[in-house]
Amino acid sequence: MSVENHKTLAIIGQGYVGLPLAMAAVEAGWTVIGVDNFEAKVSQINFGSSPVEDISDEQLKSAIAKGRYKATTEFSSVAAATVITICVPTPLDNNREPDLSLLRSAARGIAPHISNETLVVSESTSYPGTLRNVIVPIISELKPKESQKLYFASAPERVDPGNKTWNQRNTPRLVGGIDNESEKRAHDFYQSICDAVVKVATPEVAEAAKLLENTFRLVNIALVNEFTQLCFASGINVQDVIDAAGTKPYGFMPFRPGVGVGGHCIPIDPLYLTWWARQNGSSAVFVEFADSINRLMPRYVAERALGMIDTKVNRPKVLILGVAYKPGVRDVRETPVSELRNALISHGVEVAWHDPLVPLWEDTTPVGINWDCDVAILSTKQPGIDVTQLIDRGVRILDCTNSIKNLAGVTTL
């Protein structure tokens, strides 16, 4: 692959964010070097097998065949790039606080190889100040002497894996640079791959906006999860209530209840916000409450399912349908179904699971949908799950996805 092109982009992290960005950039005329420290993933990608659902093997193979894309574990390859984007995970540590160790190691990995006049962009989600106070100091300390002028910006990724409508190109991109030239260069770069680029005053505004977006989802999901419990206790179907409220043309946005929140964003990013608040001598109690309501939801769902089983059954059997954190993906990170299973087991239930997209989960394998059970819980509406045969067998279903309409034996959450 020739990397002498002036439009050479290096992307650190080739996962749900980095690989779709790479393919979007290839389409926009960039030559892309995908750096990832997970050797097996790099081999898989270079073999033409995509590890993420939104990118097909054909798309990947075509980019590789044209010589416009290659994955590597070699950080030194970023020397050829005029733009470097960082797309590594930003998880929580054991205390449920921000863990920037991967971000720091990515910054340390690229720093010694950065060429002069390179733009470095962080797309990873983090608290305000991460670019300026964590990434810039690491790179400034470790960069080569001759790389005197570097540019830095924050452009948080907004991708929604599995979403067929909104993608890299048509989702507006926020960009905040640490100075005017950084902002201009970041704007020009994203304009080459996105339809709309929105300049914001500082990287901190971009970082905070990303936390606000995902916290907005967290608290609204928590609200509707709490509301669900209030409605059920009074014999009201919460879905009817949400449909009714949703007829208001302004000032209301419908959210639906579910087993909880999962994935690498909604359960995690708001805790970056609560931690950041504490660092500033403040607290985000509203967000903390929302987090705890969502975290208790799997237990509530387990109790609702058990309430559907005849109390005379000695050791009930429950089949969980869908373990990925959302439909259409095989991603099980932070899936609330994990807590659901634990809650059922703690009630003495025999639990099995079925998910057409997930071959292995927490060291267990799926069962067929014909598994003999007392009740089934539809936790994630995965494509390929056919509930009709359960209904034909007379199995009762607790539908946590509001996707089964007017079928006998089905109760919505």
Ligand X SMILES: NC(=O)c1ccc[n+]([C@@H]2O[C@H](COP(=O)([O-])OP(=O)(O)OC[C@H]3O[C@@H](n4cnc5c(N)ncnc54)[C@H](O)[C@@H]3O)[C@@H](O)[C@H]2O)c1
Q: Which amino acid is at 33?
A: I
Tokens of 297: 């939801």
Backbone φ/ψ region at 11: left (φ over 0), alpha (ψ -120 to 50), beta: beta
317/330 with CB nearer ligand X:
330
Residues 80, 50, 169, 179, CA torsion sign: negative
- Stretch of residues binding ligand X (CB under 6 A), selected from 105-113, 188-196, 311-319, 361-369: 105-113
Per CB under 6 A, 130 contacts ligand X? no
Question: Closest by alpha carbon to 323, among 348, 360, 349, 294?
Answer: 360
Nearest CA-CA partner of 59 in 189, 167, 208, 149: 167
Nearest to 114 by CA among 85, 143, 140, 149: 143
Answer yes or no: are the C-beta atoms of 197 and 175 closer than 8 Å. yes
Residue nearest to ligand X (CB): 15
- Binding piece for ligand X, criterion CB under 6 A, among 24-32, 36-44, 299-307, 350-358: 36-44
Judge whether 87 counts as a catalytic residue: no
Separation of alpha carbons 232 and 332, rounded Å? 28
Which CB atom, from 197 or from 352, has the smaller least distance to ligand X?
A: 197
Which residue stretch of 152-160, 184-192, 239-247, 295-303 sits at the interface with ligand X (rule: CB under 6 A)? Answer: 152-160
Interaction residues for ligand X, span 74-103 (CB under 6 A): 87-90, 102
Site string for ligand X, 232-271 (x = CB under 6 A): --------------------------------xx------
d(CA 158, CA 318): 36
Q: Which of 125, 147, 225, 294 is in the footprint of ligand X by CB under 6 A?
A: 125
Q: Judged by CB under 6 A, which stretch of 32-40, 92-100, 139-147, 311-319 contacts ligand X?
A: 32-40
**Binder to ligand X among 124, 154, 239, 412 (CB under 6 A)?**
124
Write down the catalytic residue from 87, 194, 265, 373.
Answer: 265
Beta carbon nearer to ligand X, 130 or 412: 130
Least distance from C-beta 228 to ligand X, angstroms? Answer: 25
Closest CA to 275 of 64, 374, 123, 128: 128
Q: By CB under 6 A, is residue 3 in contact with ligand X?
A: no
What separation in angstroms does the CA of 148 have from each of 11, 106, 142, 397? 21, 20, 12, 63
Sheet architecture: strand order including 173-177: 69-72, 31-35, 8-12, 83-86, 119-122, 151-154, 173-177, 197-199
Closest distance to ligand X from the beta carbon of 383 (Å): 18
R_g (Cα) of the chain, nearest Å: 23
Q: Does 301 help bind ligand X (rule: CB under 6 A)?
A: no
C-beta of 168 vs 239, nearer to ligand X: 168
Residue 142 sits in the site that holds ligand X (CB under 6 A): no
- Binding residue (CB under 6 A) for ligand X from 18, 177, 203, 270: 18
Of the candidates 33, 40, 46, 177, the residue with the CA atom closest to the CA atom of residue 113: 33
**Residues with catalytic function:** 265
For ligand X, the binding residues (CB under 6 A) are 12-18, 35-38, 41, 87-90, 102, 105-106, 109, 124-125, 157-159, 161, 264-265
